[in-house]
Structure 1
Amino acid sequence: MRLLVFASHLFPNYKNPYAGSFVVEQVRHLKKFCDIAVCVPHPWVPPLVDKFSARWRRYAQLPKEEVVAGVRVLHPRRLVIPKVNSWMWMTFSVTLCCWRALSSADFDMLEGQFVLPDGFAAVFLGRRWNKPSVIHVHGTDVHTIPYLSPLLKRLTVWALKEAKAIRTVSQDLARRCAELGVDPCKVRVIPNGVDIHRFTLIPRREAKERVGLNPERRHLLYVGRLVAVKGLDLLLEATALLVQQHRDVELVFVGDGAEREVLQRQVNKLGLNGRVHFVGVQPHDCIPVWMNAGDVLCLPSHREGLPTVLLEALACGTPVVATAVGGIPEVVADRQVGRLVHSRNPKEMAACIEEVLEAQWDRQRLRDYVEERFSFEVVTKELLEMYGSVMRNCSSSVNHEHARDEGRKKRNSGTEKR
């Protein structure tokens, strides 16, 4: 099977070289079983514009094709208008550039990672090229974007209804698809995966020393974007309560984002200077070490799909504390691998973190829990079963259509003879 994956922003791209690491790993594992290519559009640079702008000059030098993790990545050019980056415009420009640049003869199936713009592009081009299409739903694409405007909702619903199959990463997202009017029969729940060969156990003390943390302290860890939807103000308030009773507790933020300055001001206000550390974006290869260095990974989000950061922490034998939103309860078996927080009350979050810090955890059992349910070996098998089902159903439909056409021809021939 020849599979083309549309992943305009959930894959390393011109804006974010670290984007979509979980999609990179997914296609890398799928490559063992099928011929796969990824489409990540880059900006089209009009003639002479690169002569006057260093940024556009850099865009003009971007490759038209490259290899990432052993997978062929295509970069057709799309029209980018400065300061115009709406979901609507992205959907139009991604679909149009792929339509003009790609050939239907090269692929058997199209899939989009995220409903807009990539799922829409996969479905639109699939209909015109007579190829089956699959959409992967990750979270924001169904619980937020459709409700930003009536038009975005119409585009989202159209793409989901016209796709031959939908993969959601959690039961929660499957329910949200059903609320948008999607037939539940074509939705498959297949969780995100984790590379258990990359996220492995390292002695906690060794990991702390390797990343420059005091091995005599206990560390709360957050890994991800510093953005409002992650609810990090709650984690800071909970930390302020914890340090009153535990002098050895510190909080480490790994990552960066729009809320960085807001969070720093909150740290100052709560008197947490010296207890909270912002270490910024870390190299991808260093993340497993950070996961081992933390004593508990915290995720206080307002909304989520199925966050891979929880899987990565557990694969490294680190327990987790997370808010019970989205698909998180489908990952975090309460008190088995950590604790679920059911409110936005800092006292509840602080109590859950304290309970996890004081408990004795079998790190190998935490790792085994993830390996049995969420390893890429398990997830890849389920994805291949879904692809096979789609291809068989499409083949059956084509054969049925052909038989119907043949029958119609015979009936018409008999009529002419009479």
Structure 2
Amino acid sequence: MKIVMFSETYIPQVNGVATSIHLFRKYLEKRGHDVYIVAPASPENDDKVLLIDGITFPMEKQHKLPIPDNRLINNLILEIDPDVIHSHAPFTLGIAALRTQKKFGIPHVHTYHTLLVEYRHYIPKPFTPPRNAVEEFSAWFCNQVDHVVSPTAEIKAELQKYGVEKPITILPTGIDIESFEKHDKFSIREKHEITSNDKILLFVGRLAKEKNLEFILEIFEELYKKFRKIKLIIVGDGPMRPKIEEYKNETQAGRNIILTGYIKRNDLIEYYKQSDLFIFASVTETQGLVVLESLAAGTPVVAVAKKGIKDVLMDGQGALLINEVDKTEFLKKVEELLTNEELLENLSILGKEYVKNYWSMNIMAEKLEKLYFSLEKNVKSNRSFNFNLFSNMIYRLSKIGDKIFKTEEEE
């Protein structure tokens, strides 16, 4: 089977969607399928990625708003004659996927990775769209495709509440267990000059408001007061980085924080494997791959059981969970693991078994393969799509871009 995936992000960018697409591609190819990617990012010398240029976001240079080249996309489709297309975001390349679906009559699967209503704060006032507008847009897009994939049951219910009528399959991203079984490449303690007596806490993710990083910093402040011999490694980048750097430079606890920025996937695995504990307080995750990756590496997790985290983790199976964002309760769980080596080791073993039994990438790729095979090749569609909602959103984005660039020039 030949599959073309459309995405606003791909490796080497470090985020959950890029990782998900990379893993599904890898395991579908293991099953004998040809997978092509249309995206604004690509590994070096990957001839199965059609690289799409775009507008670089001023505050996050590693991300672009892709500007689809319909000629290049059409040429790719004509050359490989795909059996299915699979979009991973409802924006510019998602619209390109809709146009491809209509023009060539190819079955179209869409994965709704992100609860967009939770990210409206990135669009500054007065351009911030109301919640119902985002819900309406999401429903409109999903109702144009042939089948929708949701990472969790909660997101499926949310989409149905919006008015999505197309079939929705719950299919989370699995974990590439094999990559966590290799021998260590390097020592993170040597790399960052961390003594053998220091405990290492780890956070991996985009440095942004929705990850609840201020809470993580508050937790570390209290832990440092009690333990002293403790480090917090923060892997990732994003708009909150300057604030974290300010905290790092101006406080005693902050001087024990290590900011790595984005790091290569193979190197990231070493951070998972060699840390003592993974801490995570986001309450807006659609799935939260990072917590499962930590368990696969044998590093227990303390997290808040909200949204996607609640759907993927089980309390006691490699993780200790709290039901609400509560500093006292979170600290209690972290301190319990930092002072009880037997419990930490037991959770490490249970976490690995949990991921292997329920979250193997082999299982998820097989399910996606069956979904693809269930779709029939469409006759070229005569229906016309109403692109007004999308056009309005692009107009808002262009205004926001103007505002951002104007601000930078004035500064």
Which bin holds the TM-score, normalised by the shorter protein? 0.7 to 0.9
Are positions 1:344 and 2:320 aligned together? no
Counterpart amino acid of residue 160 in structure 2? A
1:317 Cα deviation from its structure 2 partner = 0.4
1:18 Cα deviation from its structure 2 partner = 11
Name the % identity. 22
Residues 120, 156 of structure 1: 8 Å contact kept: no
Distance in 2, Cα, partners of 1:90 & 1:256: 18
Distance in 2, Cα, partners of 1:355 & 1:18: 29
1:240 Cα deviation from its structure 2 partner = 1.5
Distance in 2, Cα, partners of 1:178 & 1:299: 28
Q: Identify the residue that residue 7 of structure 1 maps to in structure 2.
A: 7
Residues 254, 278 of structure 1: 8 Å contact kept: yes
Residues 319, 351 of structure 2: 8 Å contact kept: no
Residues 242, 350 of structure 1: 8 Å contact kept: yes
Are positions 1:75 and 2:73 aligned together? no
SS at match of 1:121: helix
Distance in 2, Cα, partners of 1:81 & 1:331: 33
Are positions 1:368 and 2:365 aligned together? no
Distance in 2, Cα, partners of 1:94 & 1:245: 53
1:386 pairs, out of 371, 379, 383, with 371
1:12 Cα deviation from its structure 2 partner = 4.0
1:209 Cα deviation from its structure 2 partner = 4.5
Q: Rg bigger for which structure?
A: 1
Distance in 2, Cα, partners of 1:11 & 1:327: 22
Distance in 2, Cα, partners of 1:17 & 1:305: 12
Q: CA RMSD in A?
A: 3.5
1:255 Cα deviation from its structure 2 partner = 2.3
1:177 pairs, out of 159, 162, 165, with 159
Matched residue count: 363
Residues 372/294 of structure 1: CA separation in 2 closer, same or farther (3 Å cut): same
Q: Identify the residue that residue 405 of structure 1 maps to in structure 2.
A: none
Distance in 1, Cα, partners of 2:262 & 2:174: 22
Q: Identify the residue that residue 27 of structure 2 maps to in structure 1.
A: 29
Q: Identify the residue that residue 145 of structure 2 maps to in structure 1.
A: 163
Residues 201, 279 of structure 2: 8 Å contact kept: yes
Q: Identify the residue that residue 20 of structure 1 maps to in structure 2.
A: 18
1:289 Cα deviation from its structure 2 partner = 1.1
Gaps of 5+ in 2: 381-411
Distance in 2, Cα, partners of 1:335 & 1:178: 32
2:86 pairs, out of 111, 121, 128, with 111
Q: Identify the residue that residue 257 of structure 2 maps to in structure 1.
A: 276
1:212 Cα deviation from its structure 2 partner = 4.0
Are positions 1:123 and 2:98 aligned together? yes
Distance in 1, Cα, partners of 2:331 & 2:94: 40
1:137 Cα deviation from its structure 2 partner = 1.5
Q: Identify the residue that residue 264 of structure 1 maps to in structure 2.
A: 245
Counterpart amino acid of residue 87 in structure 2? G
Q: How does 1:211-222 map to 2 (within 5 A)?
A: 212-222=193-203
1:98 Cα deviation from its structure 2 partner = 5.7
Q: TM-score, normalised by structure 1?
A: 0.76
Distance in 2, Cα, partners of 1:336 & 1:320: 10
Point out which structure has higher relative CO (alpha carbons under 8 A, 6+ apart): 2
Residues 119, 134 of structure 1: 8 Å contact kept: no
Distance in 2, Cα, partners of 1:281 & 1:328: 22
SS at match of 2:307: coil
Residues 16, 288 of structure 2: 8 Å contact kept: no
Distance in 2, Cα, partners of 1:207 & 1:90: 34
Distance in 2, Cα, partners of 1:353 & 1:172: 27
Distance in 2, Cα, partners of 1:284 & 1:278: 16
1:143 Cα deviation from its structure 2 partner = 4.6
Counterpart amino acid of residue 90 in structure 2? V
Gaps of 5+ in 1: 43-62, 399-418
1:165 Cα deviation from its structure 2 partner = 0.9
Q: Identify the residue that residue 377 of structure 1 maps to in structure 2.
A: 362
Distance in 2, Cα, partners of 1:273 & 1:154: 43
Greater mean deviation of Cα atoms: 208-217 or 325-334: 208-217
Residues 12, 264 of structure 2: 8 Å contact kept: no
Counterpart amino acid of residue 362 in structure 2? E
Greater mean deviation of Cα atoms: 4-13 or 122-131: 4-13
The CA deviation string for residues 331-370 of structure 1, in whole angstroms up to 9 with x for no partner, is 2211222122333332222112112323333333321211
Are positions 1:326 and 2:307 aligned together? yes
Q: TM-score, normalised by structure 2?
A: 0.77
The CA deviation string for residues 146-170 of structure 1, in whole angstroms up to 9 with x for no partner, is 9835765544322201211111111
1:128 Cα deviation from its structure 2 partner = 2.3
Distance in 1, Cα, partners of 2:158 & 2:119: 11
Distance in 2, Cα, partners of 1:148 & 1:342: 30
1:321 Cα deviation from its structure 2 partner = 1.3
Q: Identify the residue that residue 287 of structure 2 maps to in structure 1.
A: 306
SS at match of 1:3: strand
Q: How does 1:82-231 map to 2 (within 5 A)?
A: 93-94=67-68, 96=70, 101-104=75-78, 106-141=81-116, 143-144=118-119, 148=129, 153-183=135-165, 186-200=167-181, 208-209=189-190, 212-231=193-212
Residues 348/82 of structure 1: CA separation in 2 closer, same or farther (3 Å cut): closer
1:96 Cα deviation from its structure 2 partner = 4.5
SS at match of 2:180: coil
Residues 142, 176 of structure 1: 8 Å contact kept: no
Residues 220, 298 of structure 1: 8 Å contact kept: yes
Counterpart amino acid of residue 363 in structure 2? V
1:244 Cα deviation from its structure 2 partner = 2.5
Counterpart amino acid of residue 3 in structure 1? I
Distance in 1, Cα, partners of 2:231 & 2:328: 17
SS at match of 1:191: coil
SS at match of 1:94: coil
The CA deviation string for residues 203-257 of structure 1, in whole angstroms up to 9 with x for no partner, is 8x96644664322111111122222211111011111222232233321112222
